[in-house]
Structure 1
Amino acid sequence: MNLQENIEAVHRMQECIDKHLKERITLRMLAEAAGYSPWHAAKIFKELTGKTPFDYIRTLRLSRAAVRLREEEIKVIDVAFDFLFDSHEGFTRAFSKHFGITPKNYSLHKPLTRFFIPEDVREKYFRLGKGEGMKKEDLIPNTIFVQVVKRQERKLILKRGVKATDYYEYCEEVGCEVWDVLTGIKQASYEPMGMWLPENLRKPGTSEYCQGVEVPLTYAEPLPEGFEMITLPACMMMIFQGQPYDDENFEQAISDLWAAMKHYKPEIYGFRWADEDGPRFQLEPQGYRGYIEGRPVRALF
């Protein structure tokens, strides 16, 4: 059994879990999908995902349950049974342990939540290049945490480029001092961001990618030379956050998150992409917190 065969087997188990998440899943089912014995199937699943099969299933069910409680008017007991928990009490204990809040309070207050979004083992395998010379720990998928944030109407101070579509092209066009200027804006609501502007926020002859910082609607200070200020409408942002990484590996961290976002289906969690509602953004890559990006969404319900 070589590494590629194990990766394909784990991929089939992940597909089996996703297909039968609301049904009873046994280790024998997963073993049959993998084509290995139950013992070996469980072993390679843990090696390549970092979780046992049933920890993986339980965590994924809790994340899907949280989405339903957040977006639908539904009883806790109905969600519990829908995701195969035996009782209201058992579901409440598991949910509270995982999210730090009871499902009832979660449904009422809808706090920001990090959902478990497992990456397909096979996708990462091919992205890293056939596995030659790689260690097993290199193949463990980076768990991506996702949360949905409501952004109120606000202003954006930005400096546009000409043709830039990414950070490097932007720096070549306008220089690297833009970030320092944005960092010095004292009334900023958040840290500076790199952004991909939707067409409705671009001006003719200006770039898709730019850098900027959000400020309150009441902001009335003079703007730095060459900068402008626009108003952004209220919207919902889906924030993706990868695992912490060594700073020298920031390009790989970005690639990993982009790959996960490319295959991510927000409809599973009750949303759809809404790129016209605002800029997609990236925060400065800092290894200690993981790479962070946001993209506008709208609720389906």
Structure 2
Amino acid sequence: MESWECIEKVTGYIEENLNQGIRIETLAEIANLSPFYFQKLFKRLVNKTPMEYVKLRRLARIAEELKENSTDNLLTICLKYGFETHETFSRSFKEAYKITPSEYRANPVVLHHVIQPDIKLQYTVLDEDIPVVTNGIVLEITRFTLESPKYFAGLTIDAKMEAPEVDPLSEVWNKLHEMMPNMKNLIPEGYEIGISTNMGNKNQFTYYAGVETTEPAVIEGMDNCTIDSGKYIVCKFEAEDFNTLVTDTIYKVYNYMHMWITKKEISVIPKAMELYDMTKPERNSMELWIPIEE
């Protein structure tokens, strides 16, 4: 068994037992390693200590319950997942998300959680044009030549992302969707697009959210964007629902595509465009377009 398979078994066990007592010795036994070497390997592959990871996954599960469960009190929920006191739980929640559990329950904004890693994707170079299903993700990589440019009108913001805090992009998408009914030259069956650029050392970046138009449209208060004709690597992927798609799944796909392109030794322009097909009502799929350098 490969070392990554051992840790993948452990993260699967953790996911199924977040509301149970979890001990290092048990996790090491599942990995068939000594506690010392297990913790060393886990930190290397997951980038967190086992118990730090367990705590953050429990907080993510609690956040889901707070959003869906309006009857149980906070103490009942936090005790269910192993937090001994309300104070300890509230402090841990605020450290992770920068808001209190009560504030989140009153206004369940989109949070960036520590997610269950798909370790297999870190070590497997997929073949092109063959769909793969792994941990609830449907993934396919292909090459595509765009014969004619695509045009978009949208909004640009400067944002800061320090996961796992509140998602700063919801506001710009909400504003764009409010403006869409009054937009001219809109292609109803077209794409929506999201582009992150100027990533800095502290995750400060510029983000563009747009919608496809028939031509470069001049719309007051909006910015134009063009996808030029040319060759692209396109990663198509699906998740169980839209929220999972734009949080957990897209994070995994970005990391995977960086590894895949490096292993394939393909020269690309350092730019990734997230395209959403507006004709799909379930909105649980996306395409990541990366231009090939010619």
Q: 1:55-101 CA deviation, whole Å, 9 max, x = no partner?
A: 11011000010010011113111110111100111000000110101
Query: In the alignment, is the contact (CA less than 8 A) between 2:93 and 2:99 conserved in 1?
Result: yes
Question: Residue 276 of structure 1: which of 281, 290, 293 is its match?
Answer: 281
Matches within 5 A, 1:95-244: 95-127=93-125, 169=144, 171-172=146-147, 175=148, 177-178=149-150, 181-182=151-152, 185=153, 188=154, 216-221=179-184, 223=185, 228-229=187-188, 237-238=242-243, 239-240=246-247, 241-242=250-251
Amino acid at match of 1:29: T
> Which position in structure 1 is the counterpart of 2:132?
none
Q: Distance in 1 between matches of 2:143 and 2:178?
A: 25
> Which position in structure 2 is the counterpart of 1:64?
61
Aligned-residue Cα RMSD (Å) equals 3.8
Q: 1:175-208 CA deviation, whole Å, 9 max, x = no partner?
A: 1x21xx32xx3xx3679xxxxxxxxxxxxxxxxx
SS state of the match for residue 216, structure 1? helix
Q: 1:202-258 CA deviation, whole Å, 9 max, x = no partner?
A: xxxxxxxxxxx967254153x2xxx733699xxx83213427979x948649xxxxx
Q: Distance in 2 between matches of 1:27 and 1:47?
A: 16
Q: Distance in 2 between matches of 1:122 and 1:166?
A: 16
SS state of the match for residue 92, structure 2? helix
Amino acid at match of 2:187: E
Matches within 5 A, 1:2-13: 5-13=2-10
* TM-score scaled by length of structure 2: 0.54
SS state of the match for residue 188, structure 2? strand
Q: Distance in 1 between matches of 2:33 and 2:64?
A: 34
SS state of the match for residue 119, structure 1? coil
Q: Distance in 1 between matches of 2:5 and 2:253?
A: 26
Displacement of 1:171: 1.1
Taking a change above 3 Å as real, the CA distance of residues 72 and 125 of structure 1, as seen in their structure-2 partners, is: same
Q: Distance in 2 between matches of 1:56 and 1:231?
A: 40
Taking a change above 3 Å as real, the CA distance of residues 62 and 285 of structure 1, as seen in their structure-2 partners, is: farther
Taking a change above 3 Å as real, the CA distance of residues 62 and 277 of structure 1, as seen in their structure-2 partners, is: same
List 4+ stretches of structure 1 deviating above 6 A. 243-246
Taking a change above 3 Å as real, the CA distance of residues 71 and 190 of structure 1, as seen in their structure-2 partners, is: farther
Displacement of 1:279: 7.3
Identity of aligned residues (%): 22
- Alignment partner of 1:17 is 2:14: yes
SS state of the match for residue 23, structure 1? coil
Displacement of 1:278: 4.3
* TM-score scaled by length of structure 1: 0.53
Q: Distance in 1 between matches of 2:115 and 2:251?
A: 10
Query: In the alignment, is the contact (CA less than 8 A) between 2:7 and 2:42 conserved in 1?
Result: yes
Amino acid at match of 1:171: L
Amino acid at match of 1:18: E
- Alignment partner of 1:31 is 2:6: no
SS state of the match for residue 41, structure 1? helix
Gaps (5+ residues) in structure 2? 128-139, 158-175, 192-240, 263-279
Amino acid at match of 1:35: N
Q: Distance in 1 between matches of 2:8 and 2:141?
A: 32
Q: Distance in 2 between matches of 1:67 and 1:107?
A: 10
